[in-house]
Structure formats: structure tokens, C-alpha cells
Chains A and B, each alone.
Chain A
Amino acid sequence: MSKNLSYLSGRQGLEKNLFEELGTAAAVSGTPERDVMEQLHSDFLVGKANIQGTVSFYDFLKPENKNKKVYVCNGSACEMAGTQGKLKEQLLTTFQPDEIGEMCCLGRCHENSAFNIDKKNYSGGDIEHLAEIVQDTVTTREQYHVECKGTAVLTAPITNVAEYYLLFSDVLQQGADTTLAEIKKSNVRGRGGAGFPMGFKLESCKNTPGDVKYVVCNADEGDPGAYSDRYIMEQRPHALLLGMMITGYVIDARYGVLYIRAEYPESIESVQAAINEVKALGLLGENICDSGFSFDFKIIGAQGAYICGEETALLSSIEGQRPEVRVRPPYPTQEGLFNRPTVVNNVETLACVPFIIKFGGDAYATLGSGKSTGTKLLSLDSYFNRPGIYEVEMGTPLRTAIDELGQGFRQPIKAIHIGGPLGGLVPVSKIDALTIDFESFSQNGFLLGHASFVCIPEQYPIIDYIEHLFRFTAHESCGKCFPCRLGSTRGYELIEKAKGSDYKIERTLMNDLLETLEVGSLCALGGGLPLPVKNALQYFNDELSPYFTS
């Protein structure tokens, strides 16, 4: 978080982007070479240490990434499915051990056995065709079910792209104020996990003076188990792009930036193809349709860091800074990308906007329940009989999602981890108490988050799951705030030690650690980890008590 670095990086705007340059440089061998880093230091007037600091942060830029040829998914769903050990064995027939790296969640949670070779993802039975994959003669056979129960806000098919974008001309006609009013009326809340009302954000940014503003799409769907944003980017990219254009128009943004995770190479391709289509329609560039509004898209490919899903870390990432969480204020709507007013929203949130504008904010607000308006995409993993992406209205009973949509579990499970690694660990006994909306989850001590479902099978030890969560947090902690940097590692060590020896964890120590993380952390990573751990301690106490002092 350096204002100077934000300004310096911003000097070259998005045309020549420091972060992108580092990615390009790393593409050669897996990490940027020293002479390239020195050149970027002088081109961008930033310190050499800043370049090195950034490079060393990311999984796919750091020197350890050098010469990696294949990456095995280590996301929660693949871990729970237990497919990755066998997968790795199969890969070792073709690759050297040091050529195999890890990626955290390729979004193939519905069929697992996920891996990435040469910027392409594979899963399910693909590994059986490894030889052809290496020769690039086959493509993935991935398939998943998509279904909508009720009004289709996000899953509605877009048959005619040109017709779809006519809505944008209407928006240019009706003006920014009217458009904003509809968004506010819809009461759409951020789908990334925090549930912040989008209208407030837009209004704040709209009212902040600035020559250049940005709308940034947070497409760093890092929560293992979630693949709904991936679905939108690959199957409904125009909903997202139109949503960004409308949002951009409301706040008078000059650019729409899509920060898309490296683990979704196909998403980057499909969104780029969609941008080209919009461009072909003449709806991008200077003075669009003589409206005085100018807008362009830019895709920034991420490089592997879960923390970049946190909006301020994401902005620093685009700037080529270390993606460490920033303090607020200033809020991004005041000083965001390159210190300019910026709206950051999640893929799913932005993709709701065309529906809101087409049918009106009121129409959207009638969907859902209470303060949770609209619909929500659910990502169901392979423990369901029918895994896939489901769109439901907010307020739908959790039981409906599981039994009706997912068609029940294919084997006994004891808990569902809903809402990503920082979401709540819902024991099967609580399924009937919950409806799919922000309030129901939070009132019951859980978190809807991004509504991903990762099932924990009956026989899987909860202590191992907690260990997995601590390890995940320790690996992904940006390292800025003391509680998360130190606490996640120490928590992991406590569990590891208790598992591997007769060491017993003191209850007070664990409680102190969890409280320190929860109330002391700067962002939701350290702050969110205690929730599933506390859920586990509450609902699986019998299973866990042998690891603790009595």
C-alpha cells in the first residue's frame, strides 16, 4: 500500500501495465529474469525491491515457480473428493516431480481430478488422455449441470448479442442518475461475500470528482469450491460486460478492468472473445454512440494469490504492487486504482445489472427475501448426485437446494462447508434451519459468502479439515497484519503437533488465538478463519476433544 507506487504505476495507465509486464516476463520460464526486472524498475520508476517484492508474492511469478509444467488442484473440493493423490501419480508418469506445482481451485469442483497444463484446465476423466493433452490434441470433456429454479436473472440465455446490447443505448438515453436510481431500488448486494449494497458504492464513486475513474470486476473467484463466477465468464460473459458498461456509465468510468484469476484460463479467453464482440458492435472506445461517454475494457490476468479477492489487495495487484490489504479510509470509491475513484464489484453482482436495468429495480427487489434481494448462484460439488451451478431466489430453503437441485448426496456426509474457506461449517443437522440468504446464515452463526458447497464426507476427520483451513490461510495470508501472518501459522502448527504427538492444545490458547484472528485481523482472511473452526469446535466437539486439554 504505497500511494507513490500507485501514482507511479498509474503514469502509464493500463496501456503498459507493470503487473501484466511481470506476467509476460514470467511466461518464459515461470519467473521473471533479473534483467527484465531491472528494466521494469527503470521504465516505471519504481524501486527494484518493489518489483522483487511483487514477484516473490505470487504463486506463478515467484522463483519457485520456475520450470513448473503442470499444476494439480489442491482446492477443498478436490481434497475432499480424494482424487488428487491418484492424479499426481498419473502425472508422474510423464513429468518430473519438480515440474509439478499446485493451484488452488481450478473451479472443477463438480468432477475433481483437476489439473492445469499449459494454460488449460482438465478434470474428471481427462487424466486418462494425458498423452494427447501433452500434445495438445484433445480438449477437456468437462460437463456440469446448470439449472434455474424460478426467475433466471443470471442464467437466462443470451441468444442475440446485438439485441442484448440495445439495452445500453437505452441507458445512454435515460442518463446516469436514472440508471443509478434503478440499481439503488433493486437493493442488489455484493455477491462476493460481504453483501455490501452496490448502489451506495456507485453513488459514492459517482459523487467523487476525478478525471479518470475505473470500474473493476473482481473475477478472482478464489474460494475453493466456488465456480459460479467462472460459469458467468464462460457461459454468460455478456451479462458481465454489459453490467460493467452500465456501471461504468453511472460513475463515468473511463475503463472497465477485469481482474481474472490465472486458474481460469478459459474464462480469460471467453471474456476476451466477448469484449471483441462488443467492440465489433461499436460500443467501446471514445464517445460511444455520440453520448459523450467513453469506455474500454482491459483484462488483467492474475498470478495466483487468494488475497487478491480482497478488493484493496486486488487494486494493488493491478498496480503491480504487493497485494497487501489497504487500510480504509480511503475507500476505493475515493482513492482506488492508481489513486483514482474506483468501483470494485464481483462478477455475479455486475452480471445482475442488465436484468435490473431491463426489468427495473423494483422487479429485481421483488425477488428474494427481506434484505437479500434477487437470486443467487450456488456451486455444488461432486458429493451431490447432480453437481453443478444452480440459480435460486434468495430465501430458498437450503434443503431444496440439496435435495431437489443437487438431488441429495451420493455418500454420507457430515457437514457442508458453505461460502468458501472462511464460510461456516454447516453440520447436516442444521440444514433444515437455513434458507439461502445473507440473514439466515448469519443469524445461525454461518456465512452465505459466495454460496459454494463443499461437502465433508462422514469418514473425513474434522481435525484434518481444520488443519487444511489453517494451512490454506497460512499459505494465502498476505503477511501484512500481525494476527493473520503469525496466527494462521501458529494455529496450523498447534493442530499439526496435536495430531502428530501426544501434545494437547490448551483450550484458552486456541480461544485466544481465534479471538485474536477474528477481532484483530485487518481483513476477512484472518478475520474469517475462526468461523469454520468455531463451528467445528461447537458441532464436532466429541471428535475434536482428544486433541485438546480437558
Chain B
Amino acid sequence: MNTSTYTNGHHVAVQDVETKTAYINGVAYSVQENETILSFVRRHFGNDYVPTLCDAPNLDPYGACRVCSVEVALTANGSRRVQASCHTPVIPDSYIFTDTDRIERLRKNIVELVLTDHPLDCLTCEVNNNCELQTVAARVGIRKVRYPEGKNHLDRQKDLSHAYMTSDFSKCINCSRCVRACDEVQGQLVLSMAGRGFDAHIIKGLDQTFADSDCVSCGACAQACPTSAISDIFESKSVVADKKVRTVCTYCGVGCNLEVAVVNNNIKSIQAPYDAAVNQGHTCLKGRYAFSFYNHPDRLRTPLIKRNGEFQPATWDEAYDYIAEKFTQIKQEYGPDSISGISSARCTNEENYLMQKFFRAVIGTNNIDSCARVCHSPTALGMQRSFGTGAATNSIIDLKYTDCIMVIGANPTDAHPVTGAKLKQFAMKGKPSIVIDPRRTELARYATYHLQLKPGTNVALLNMMLYYIITEGLEDKAFIQNRTEGYDGFKEQILNLNIDELEHITGVDKHLVRSAAITYASAPNAMSFHGLGVTEHSQGTFTVMLIADLAMITGNIGRRGVGVNPLRGQNNVQGAADMGCQPHQGAGYLDAYNPEINKMYSEFYGVPIPIGKGLKIPEMYDAAFAGKLKAIWLMGEDVAQTDPNTQLVVSALNKLELVVVQEIFMTETCKLADVVLPAASFLEKSGTFTNGERRIQRVQKVVEPIEGTKPDGQIMVDIMNRMGFAQPEYHPDTVLQEVSRIVPFFAGVKWNELGNNGKQWPVAPNGNGTEILHTETFKRGLGKFHFAPYKETEETKQHADKYPYIITTNRELEHYNSGTMTRRTNNVKILTEDVLLINPEDAARHFIEEGDMVCVESPRGKVDIKARITTEVKPGIMSTTFHFPELMINNITSSQHDSEALCPEYKVVAANIRKSKGKFKTQPQTV
């Protein structure tokens, strides 16, 4: 089942009540329960039938403009009352008249009043021909304004202070759509009306500019505004485009649908379609505005081969020949296992599939991994162990049905903004919400419970919750009995825990933990969400398994409004793993080391497929040092900036004979490469991305690739052919067809049937997708309880005495990961540098003031970071980001990793600090 209806406010999905009807202009039509007159009329006559000014598809009814008024009578010839259709429910058997003389006069008279305080400069206005006021005025037939000139607001000044957002309130008609979008969609509350009556006007913050306000640049207000009163620098809503292409965002794992306006093969703007199942007309500043990197002068435009330490431009043939020759030679000399590949979760499913196929079928090694390793590999592994499937059990739409949310180690308002906004909307309403995070995140401010634990103690805290659920008798005994195994032993181990000790370890009041546990366990339906604050730890996989335990012990699996829902970091991190970009599992998560499966793969690919154990990313570096690994191919991965312990990574790469990188920009990793291949960006290619809720969506080529570049998939095909493997030309539909024949849960996926909103896997051969997993049985049969005791990370165990502080890492809304793309957009004007969040107590102890440079030293190295003093972090804990290469925070992160999945422990770094003289200070990079 795949829902594509978008639901919000008055468009909430409703049941048809067959027997009930009402009359529209004398003819009876079926009425749905709780339907407004406006949605009733629109359902039968289309969206434009009744004109409106203050209504918007994703906002609650507001009743300000009154232009949507209709006449309503209770009997055929009864007296008629004028009512605003947008907020008046349909009374069954009533008689609705949509355009009587009185109604037409009313609409015209209202619009005439609006025009008494509106500039009559349509022809030069930004939104000329795309203006809802203009359309409605034409529709109701205004010819002239009869009122003499009176007070007006035509002299209001424009606000051009912001990197993206603009306003010109002389064009404002006071519909409050922007205010409501900021409130009801984003939950940011930046905008409000101020003053009253005729003087009522929109303000930002305390009557500030966009730049000075708390605006998060999501653009919801601009998209909602019916005129040009609020817009953006791209004039997004009024671009007269040659074409508008529907595609999927390349940034986070939410997978927002985007509608991209193109003029002359140039991208002009991006809007969020209202009928998008994922994002319902909303998106964030990355999705909406951070696209101008695509034709930035820094784009790589020709293959480069490093000769004598210098990159020299090369033709594609030269580059391919160079690589093929080197690979062949290395393979002959050292064997196929001396070559490895790291695929990219930023690339399409098809490209990831081809990459792993290249390594397995052409090179002949299982040394293929992807960046999922450094983010959600523990999720995949942990959930596979507990449930049998390493993917979100439910869908984001389940937020509409849940009674409680628990967000662990995730900061979705920054890292997954559209889902974050939905979670925030939930928490803002005071619904039960639990945030487990060392930082007081945006969501934590609104949550019912914030369990502000010490970084690295997730296991201890979740064990406390499990303990209280058992001691309070809140287990779902029937679920445990019927759907799970291993509970008795698990329970015994939990009950043996020393709660006071765990309280001390986590630093969280046990009574608070108990209350939160009771809240989660008592909710009829509770959903958990988790992010990298769960996985990027030495006990990452165990933490995921404990989250699964919590869901199982409370029966929160297998229906609406429940489940374990990892917030996947990258747009296609789900897909990269699905496609087999990990050493131990081939396409479709089939065991790469199992002889029978190996046989099947060999038959499918038509060549012998290796069965020997492959290397995971950290093991690749070890192998490089050991001299066993000689060459590496990186598709869109900047390991030198993003992998932990930078100096180790750089040394490892330097040991290799051949480093090939496919990239769109000259990253830190590119600089270390022997061959750089210029790739096309997501806007220049087609394929599919799979979002965090397993939704396979179509990425559609918006513009032709920048000259000199090729889609990553094409590069893969080229090199496969060059090395003697006959792989057909890169077309996403044919590759997808191949994928659907080998990946079981893609069985029914067909390019032409994915539509605008995609399908959620597993997709059955008949094409039906799946919103909720494990409804009847778990993928592995019974869900398995696993106990995991808390174990302190070696990082603090070994270094805490000399390095008493803990630095953890986080993300900022404005930048994506290493910032390669977002730093090449105006986002860099909004957030210009990485900072160190430090508690006032710690700052005072080291005489550090706001804005001072702080030298942060770990056992690996040191960096200088600007201090931001805040109570967001507790004393002893600091946090920072790695969006800017100037900082290279990974110089201090460690090589500790998750014991099971080898995901690096970015979240706990033992460190010491001192006020720096700032000698490492660098200028922030700008556009």
C-alpha cells in the first residue's frame, strides 16, 4: 500500500459517507465527513472553482479574506446566509450557491478594497502573471477602484538583508499565509502580524530584518505568499520557466520532492510541490535554495591525472586507459583483493549498484563499502539482528498516528529539517516527547523529557529505561509471547543492573528516566527515531539493538504510529546498502560469503563472483598500512575531511599506488588522488534515491551535465567496458530493471511506475509498496531480544585523565556534511564557520569569552575553534561541526569504532582545551 494523498488541515483524509449529500448550485453531490464547504466544492469542481486569497493547501483554514464566501440555505428555497466556505463545515442536505449575484458582488467589493491599498504596478512586479491577487482580481472583474485615495502602505521599504529571503510589504495583502506557514509548517514563529486594524502589518522577530531574525530560510513563507510581499532572491514562485522538472533532493535522507524551474538549461529556482508525499509543499534552505553549486566555477570539468605531483588535464580516454592499465597491473601483481572501492550514499541506486558490480564482477573482490559505514552501519546491522531487516520499520506519515515520540541521538531540525519540522510540530503541541541527547537541541527545548546524558552512555541510559519498564510492569506481554524470543534471559540481565551506577554513568536523574520510560511504555503507540548520536559510538550497534528491545518490550512494532525509525543521514544511504555496497552483503543484503548465494550472483552477473571476506572502510586503511591494499576507487567520498583521524586517513591514502576519485569539486581527498574524474551532480542525471523510509523515488535529469562531466553511473559503465566487461550504456530504467531481478525487495520496481512519489520497499512483483514492516511476523521470524551491558569507550578509558573534556560532533542546518556543496552557495553567508559549543562554566575556568579562539587538543592532534558560549551543552561537554575544511576537526577524532559494524566513534573525543592565541585561525571560506 502506498499513500500519495497529502494530508494537512482541512485536507485530512476522510471517509466517504455514501448516504450523505449536499447541493451545489442545485445539484446533489456526495459529502465527506468533517469536510469544509470549500474542500467539498473543490473536490467536485476543481481547485479554481471558488476564488480564495488566504487559503493555502498546507495551512489550516483561517477565514480572513472572505473571498471564498458562498450562500448557504437549509432548504431549497430557504433563506440564504453568506458563509466563508474555507472554515464552514458542510451541513448534509444543505444548499450551497457558489456564485449568486450577491456573492459575486461581495467578492468584487472585497477585492476592490484590497486594491485600495496595493500598488498598481503589476506590469513591473516580480510576480506579474503569477500573482494570486492578480488572478482573483481578474476573475471577479474589477475594472476600477471607486474609493477616493486614502491612507495606504505603499511606501513600505523592501528588506534585502538576507542571503535568500526578501520582502516588500507594500505588496502585502495581510492574508497571514506567511505567518501561518512559519508557524504551522516550520514551527519557527519568526513572523507575526503587528499593530491592529488598518495598520496591521507583518513583522519578523522584534520588528527586525530577515537577516537579524531567527529565520531558518526554509522559504515556506515565500512559497505561501500569494503576491510578491515575501519572496526570495531567485524569485522562485514567479520564474517563467521553459520547463519544471520534478526530482528528489540530494541532501539528507528525508528525500524531499523538488520542482526545479529551468530556463535555457540554467536552473532558476526550486519549489516544493504540495502533492509530494514526503514533504507536502515544504523543504529546507538546502533543498530549496542551495543549488547554485551546480554550475559553480569550481566544478571539475575535465579528468585530471597527477604526474610528478601535479594534476594535468586529461581526456576521458586517457584517464580510463590510465586507470585500467594500473588496475590490471595491480590486480595481476597483488591480486584483486589489493583493490578496494568506497561508494557514495549521495549517488543513485543505479550508480551504487554498478559500483559494487564493478568491484565484484570486474575487479573480483568484496572490498566494496560505502559511507553508510561511517554513519548508519550499526543501524543496519543492529536492526538486522533484532528484526531481520536493517531499515526503518515505519514511515514518516505515522507521526500523524502516534501518541509519543522518542528521539535519540538525533538533531532533526538541523539535520533532517522537514522531518524535524514535523517532529517539532508534534512536540510544540505538548504531546509526549522524549529527547535523549547530550545537547539541548531545538527539539529538546520543546520536548516533555530531555534526558541530557553524557556522550557515549546511550547503552546505560536505554538499559535504565528497559529496567523501569519491567519493574513498572509495563511490558506488552502478549507481544513478547507471540512475536519475540530470548526475553526471559534478557529480562533477568536487565533486572540485575545496578540502577544507581547507571545513573552515575549517564549523569541523568533516574527519576526522570523512569518517568520517560513510563511515558514511552504507556503510550498506545510510540515511535522512536534515532540518528548518528546512536550509531557513531563504540557501542553503536548495541544501542540500536536496545532501541529495538524497547520497541519490542512495549509492542511498538508492526502497525501505524510505532516502530524504530532511523533518520538516515544522506539522501541515499539506505539505497547504497540496499544495492550491496558493503563487503559482507551483495545487492539485496544477501550474504556475500554464502556459497549458494555466491553461486546465484555468479550466474546472474555471468562471471565468477568472489566469496572471500572483503574490507570495511577502516580495515581498508589498516590494509594500506600493512601493504596489502594498493589501490582505491572513491565515488563521491571525501574521506580526508569526513573520516575520523584525518592524519591516519591521509597517510593511508598516501601509501597506495593508485587513488581514483569521482567528484564534482576538488575536495581534500581529490587532492590526494592520482586520477580525478569529473562527475555530474544530481541535477544533471537520472536514477533513483531511496529515502529513510525506504521510499524509492525518481531523480530526473534537470539540466544537461556541465561540459566535461559525466554521471557517475556512466563512468562506472565506461570503466567496466574498458576493463573488458560488457555492461550496456547507463540508463537508469534499464539498470533498475537489472536491479529488480536480483534485489528481492525491488521485485516490482519499474522506472515508469514510480510516479512522482515513488514506492516504499519491499515492492511486491505486482508493484505494491509497503509502508509498515513486520506487521505479521518479523523478517527473521521472531524478534530477538539482545542484552548489552554498558562498556566505557576506550577513548575515555585511556585518555580521560589527560584529556578530561568530551567533544562530540553535530551538524548545522545550513551546511551539509563537509560543506563541499553548501559552502558554494549563499548558505555560507548565513553560517560562515564551525564553532565550539562550550558551557559558560568551562569557558570561565579557561578564561574563554564568546568568540575567542580555543585550542582543542586530543591524543591525535589539535585544532583551533571559535568559542560559542552556551548552556546547550553541560559542563565538561563540548560540541562542534566539520562543515569547513579550514577546521578539519577530524584531526582530533579517534580511530575508535563500533565494535560490531566498525562505524567510527565521532561522537566521543577525549580532549583538553585552552584559550588559543589564534595562530591557527583562518578566514572562513565564502561563495
Q: Which chain B residues border A493 with CB–CB below 8 Å? A: 147-148, 150-151
Query: What mask results when residues 504 to 528 of chain A are scored 1 for a CB within 8 Å of chain B, else 0?
Result: 0010010011011001111000000
Asked if A490 meets B197 with Cβ closer than 8 Å, knowing A8-B428, A45-B446, A49-B192, the reply is no
Contact A7 B203 (CB under 8 A): no
* Residue contact B196 to A477, C-beta cutoff 8 Å: yes
Residues 453 to 482 of chain A near chain B (Cβ within 8 Å): 474-482
Pick the contact of B66 from A7, A478, A521 — CB < 8 Å? A521
> Across the interface, which residues of B come within 8 angstroms of A494, CB to CB?
147-148
Tell me, yes or no, whether A329 is within 8 Å of chain B by CB: yes
A3 touching B429, Cβ below 8 Å:
yes
Interface-located stretch among B107-115, B674-682, B881-889: B107-115
Separation in Å of the A66 CB from the closest CB of chain B?
15
CA gap between A490 and B197 in the complex, in Å: 12
Instruction: Name B150's contact: one of A11, A490, A509 (CB within 8 Å).
Output: A490
A358→B214 CA distance, assembly (Å): 56
B120 smallest CB distance to A (angstroms) = 16
| CB–CB A519/B205 < 8 A | no
Docked pose: A129 CA to B314 CA in angstroms: 98
Q: How far is the CA of A10 from the CA of B429 in the complex (A)?
A: 10
Contacting residues, chain A, for B446 (C-beta < 8 A): 45
B204 within 8 A of A: yes
Q: Is A48 an interface residue (CB 8 A)?
A: yes
- Known contacts A46-B189, A483-B113, A493-B151; A3/B60 CB under 8 A: yes
Stretch of B40-48, B81-89, B715-723 contacting A (4+ beta carbons < 8 Å):
B81-89
Q: Which of B110, B190, B198, B203 contacts A474 (CB 8 A)?
A: B198
Q: Are A519 and B62 in contact (CB under 8 A)?
A: no
Task: Give the nearest-CB partner of B86 in chain A.
Answer: A327
The 8 A CB mask of B190-207 against A (1 = contact, 0 = none) is 111111111110011111
Instruction: Give B167-207 as 1s and 0s: 1 = Cβ < 8 Å from A's Cβ atoms.
Output: 00000011010001011100111111111111110011111
Please measure, in the bound complex, the distance between the C-alpha atom of A48 and the C-alpha atom of B198, giving whole angstroms: 22
Say whether, besides A46-B189, A47-B189, A53-B203, A488 and B428 are in contact (CB < 8 Å).
no
Known: A482-B66, A520-B110. A4 touches B194 (CB 8 A): no
Whether A497 and B198, one on each chain, are in contact in the complex, defined by CB atoms closer than 8 angstroms, is no
Tell me if A16 is interfacial: C-beta within 8 Å of chain B. no
Judged by a CB distance under 8 angstroms, whether B728 is at the interface is no
Q: A410: CB under 8 A from chain B?
A: no
Of residues A56, A328, A487, which shows the largest number of chain B Cβ atoms within 10 Å of its Cβ? A56
Interface residue? B788 (CB, 8 A): no
Chain B CB within 8 A of A5 CB? yes
Contact A5 B183, beta carbon cutoff 8 Å = yes
Interface presence of B117 (CB below 8 A): yes
CA distance A58 to B191 in the complex (A): 18
B199 nearest CB neighbor, chain A only: A479
The interface size of chain B toward A, counting residues with CB under 8 Å, comes to 64
User: Is the CB–CB distance between B151 and A489 below 8 Å?
Assistant: yes
Is B523 in contact with chain A by the CB < 8 A criterion?
A: no
Verify if A260 is at the interface (C-beta below 8 Å from B): no
- Does A430 interact with chain B (Cβ within 8 Å)? no
Nearest-neighbour CB distance to chain A for B485, whole angstroms, equals 39
Contact B191 A4 (CB under 8 A): no
Q: Is the CB of A519 within 8 A of B102?
A: yes
* Chain A proximity of B378: nearest CB distance (Å): 33
Q: Are B66 and A4 in contact (CB under 8 A)?
A: no
Q: Measured between C-beta atoms, what is the minimum distance from A32 to chain B in Å?
A: 11
Q: How far is the CA of A62 from the CA of B207 in the complex (A)?
A: 13
User: B430 contacts which of A7, A37, A497, A515 (Cβ < 8 Å)?
Assistant: A7
Complex Cα gap A8–B182 (Å): 15
In the bound complex, what is the Cα–Cα distance between A520 and B66 (angstroms)? 6
Question: How many pairs of A and B residues are in contact by the CB < 8 Å rule?
Answer: 190
CA distance A5 to B188 in the complex (A): 11
Asked if A56 meets B148 with Cβ closer than 8 Å, knowing A34-B206, A479-B200, A520-B66, the reply is: no
A50 near B189 (CB under 8 angstroms)? yes
A520 to B114, CA, bound (A): 13
Docked Cα-Cα span, A276 to B658, in Å, equals 86
Docked complex: B191-244 residues within 8 A CB-CB of A: 191-200, 203-208, 213-214
Q: Is A274 at the interface (CB under 8 A from chain B)?
A: no
- Using a Cβ–Cβ cut-off of 8 Å, how many residues does chain A contribute to the interface with B? 61
Q: Does B106 contact A (CB under 8 A)?
A: yes
* B116 at interface by CB-CB < 8 Å: yes
Whether B336 sits at the interface, judged by CB under 8 Å, is no
Contact residues, B545-583 vs A (CB, 8 A): none
Q: Is the CB of A513 within 8 A of B87?
A: no
Q: Which residues of B contact A8 (CB under 8 A)?
A: 428, 430
Measured between beta carbons, the chain A residues less than 8 angstroms from B197 are: 474-479, 485, 488-489
B189 lies within 8 A of A509 (CB): no
B861 within 8 A of partner (CB): no
Instruction: Please judge, given known A-B contacts A52-B207, A513-B109, A516-B113, whether A45 and B196 are in contact too, CB under 8 Å.
Output: no
* Identity of the chain B residue whose Cβ is nearest the Cβ of A525 in the assembled complex: B197
CB-nearest residue of chain B relative to A329?
B89
Q: Is the CB of A509 within 8 A of B194?
A: no
B63 on interface, CB distance cutoff 8 Å: yes
Contact, CB under 8 Å: A487 / B113: yes
Asked if A47 meets B429 with Cβ closer than 8 Å, knowing A57-B196, A327-B63, the reply is no
Residues on A with beta carbons closer than 8 Å to the beta carbon of B445: 45
Tell which of A48, A506, A519 touches B106, judged by Cβ atoms closer than 8 Å.
A519
Within 8 A of A (CB), among B109-152: 109-110, 113-114, 116-117, 146-148, 150-151
Q: How far is the CA of A483 from the CA of B68 in the complex (A)?
A: 13
Q: In the bound complex, do residue B190 and residue A47 qualify as a contact, i.e. CB atoms below 8 Å apart?
A: yes
Alpha-carbon separation in the docked complex, A8 to B431 (Å): 11
Q: Kindly state whether residue B69 has any CB partner on chain A within 8 Å.
A: yes
B469-493 contacts to A, CB under 8 A, are none
Q: List B contacts of A139 (CB < 8 A).
A: none
CA distance A530 to B117 in the complex (A): 22
A226 within 8 A of B: no
B87 (CB) vs chain A CBs: closest residue: A327
B731 at interface by CB-CB < 8 Å: no
Chain A nearest CB from B316 CB (Å) reads: 53
Residues of B contacting A392 in the complex (Cβ-Cβ under 8 angstroms)? none
Q: B194–A56 contact, CB under 8 A? A: yes
Judge if A191 is at the interface, Cβ distance under 8 Å.
no
A328 to chain B, nearest CB (A): 7
Interface residue A38 (Cβ < 8 Å from any Cβ of B): yes
Interface: A486 (CB within 8 A): yes
The answer to whether B105 has its CB under 8 Å from any CB of chain A is yes
How close is B241's CB to chain A, nearest CB, in angstroms? 32
Question: In the complex, which residues of chain A have a beta carbon less than 8 angstroms from the beta carbon of B876?
Answer: none
Whether a CB of chain B sits under 8 angstroms from the CB of A263 is no
CA of A37 to CA of B182, assembled, Å? 20
- The yes or no answer to B64 lying at the interface (CB within 8 A) is yes
Q: Tell me whether A4 and B146 are in contact in the complex, defined as CB-CB below 8 angstroms, given that A47-B205, A515-B106, A519-B69 are known contacts.
A: no
**How many Å lie between the Cα of A293 and that of B87 in the bound state?**
36
Determine if B736 is an interface residue (Cβ-Cβ < 8 Å). Answer: no
Q: Which residues on the A side are within 8 Å of B430 (C-beta)?
A: 7-8, 10-11
| A520 adjacent to B82 (CB under 8 Å) | yes
**Contacting residues, chain B, for A57 (C-beta < 8 A):** 194-196
Return A203 CB to nearest CB of chain B, in Å. 20
Q: Taking each of B53, B82, B194, B445, which has the highest tally of chain A beta carbons within 10 Å of its own beta carbon?
A: B194
A-B contact pairs, 14 of them (CB 8 A): A47-B191, A49-B194, A49-B205, A53-B203, A324-B193, A327-B87, A480-B193, A480-B200, A482-B64, A483-B66, A483-B110, A486-B114, A486-B117, A522-B63
Sorted nearest first, the 7 A-B pairs with minimum C-beta distance are A47-B189, A479-B200, A53-B192, A49-B192, A327-B87, A477-B197, A327-B63
16 further A-B pairs in the complex, CB-CB below 8 A; given A490-B147, A516-B106, A522-B84: A47-B189, A48-B189, A53-B193, A62-B195, A322-B193, A327-B63, A327-B87, A474-B198, A479-B198, A480-B176, A483-B110, A485-B200, A493-B147, A493-B151, A519-B102, A520-B69
Q: Which residues of B contact A (CB under 8 A)?
A: 53, 60-67, 69, 82, 84, 86-87, 89, 102, 105-106, 109-110, 113-114, 116-117, 146-148, 150-151, 173-174, 176, 180, 182-184, 187-200, 203-208, 213-214, 425, 428-430, 445-446
